């Protein structure tokens, strides 16, 4: 298998999620700039290697058709918006995703600065979200986030990295990102016990509630899916909280890597529409998705070969 980008890096303490669009007519120049990303990342990270700086690059469906020739990733397509009875998963623009992460914010910022300098005049920044580790891996709702993400290397690789199913793109991945904004006023009005029923876990211990107690529309239940043979299906998450206390903005940036994006998409359908229809994820009553994009993450060498 070709070497993957740093999709399976350990959970980050800090990250910058950078989404850009490529200006019309600048596709070739952008392609040349992408070939420089691994080298720029090495140059910035080499100075303080213990901070574990990495950058994963994703390419959107529309840009792939404008910029690349040859075989196309079989499951690359625009993010599919979802219209539930009460909540919506919106699709927003984005040609390139840069998932920059490290153990300190300053080195993430330096890399984002250097990447945008290299892309100056070629792209427009759609979104820049600075994520941070909050307490013991908790989100701003106060619950531990990402507990069910695979932890072992083999399990994580199986969930997130393309192998034999797409020979041309072995070592690649698919990633879906969404920015969620929380209504902390409504959330904090709940008792801890009510919050636990929304999530499906104990708030302090992070232990999953017993099946007899856990509601069918709890976040844990809705996001637990299996294949036709009853095997659990998983994705690799590296969500982080973000916020602006002065502006009253509190949120979670969802990022999910998968060898097959239909796994993540099924989770989202269960969240926003429900299985059965109407059994939507109760967390959406307190957390609203304001962006949505899907990208293909090529193998590491693909970028430099551009």
CA 159-128-61 angle, 5° bins: 50
* Other beta carbons within 10 Å of 101: 27
What span, in angstroms and rounded, lies between the C-alpha atoms of 144 and 205?
9
- Residue 110 CB partners (closer than 8 Å, separation 6+): 44
145 is catalytic: yes
| Opening angle at CA 79, ends 75 and 83, nearest 5 | 130
- Catalytic residue (choose from 145, 238, 260, 281): 145
258 contacts 165 by C-beta, under 8 angstroms: no
Report which secondary-structure segment, H or E, holds 193. Answer: helix 192-199
Nearest alpha carbon to residue 102 among 61, 152, 41: 41
Catalytic residue numbers read: 145
């Amino acid at each position: 298998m070709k070497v993957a980008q740093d999709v399976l890096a350990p959970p980050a303490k800090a990250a910058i999620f950078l989404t850009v669009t490529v200006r019309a007519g600048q596709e070739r120049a952008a392609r040349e700039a992408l070939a420089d990303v691994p080298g720029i990342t090495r140059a910035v990270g080499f100075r303080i290697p213990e901070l574990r700086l990495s950058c994963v690059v994703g390419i959107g469906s529309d840009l792939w058709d404008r910029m690349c020739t040859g075989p196309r990733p079989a499951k690359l397509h625009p993010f599919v918006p979802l219209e539930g009875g009460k909540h919506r998963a919106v699709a927003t623009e984005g040609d390139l995703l840069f998932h920059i992460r490290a153990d300190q914010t300053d080195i993430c910022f330096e890399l984002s600065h250097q990447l945008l300098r290299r892309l100056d005049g070629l792209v427009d920044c759609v979104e820049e979200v600075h994520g941070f580790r909050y307490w013991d891996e908790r989100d701003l709702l106060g619950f531990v986030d990402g507990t069910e993400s695979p932890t072992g290397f083999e399990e994580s690789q199986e969930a997130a990295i393309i192998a034999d199913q797409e020979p041309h793109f072995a070592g690649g991945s698919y990633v879906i990102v969404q920015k969620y904004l929380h209504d902390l006023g409504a959330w904090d009005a709940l008792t801890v016990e009510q919050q636990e029923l929304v999530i499906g876990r104990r708030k302090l211990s992070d232990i999953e509630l017993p099946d007899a107690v856990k509601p069918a529309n709890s976040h844990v239940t809705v996001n637990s899916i299996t294949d036709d043979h009853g095997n659990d299906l998983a994705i690799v998450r590296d969500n982080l909280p973000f916020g602006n206390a002065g502006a009253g903005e509190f949120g979670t940036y969802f990022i999910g890597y998968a060898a097959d994006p239909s796994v993540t998409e099924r989770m989202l359908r269960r969240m926003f529409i429900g299985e059965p229809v109407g059994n939507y994820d109760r967390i959406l009553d307190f957390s609203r998705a304001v962006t949505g994009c899907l990208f293909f993450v090529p193998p590491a060498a693909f970028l430099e070969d551009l």
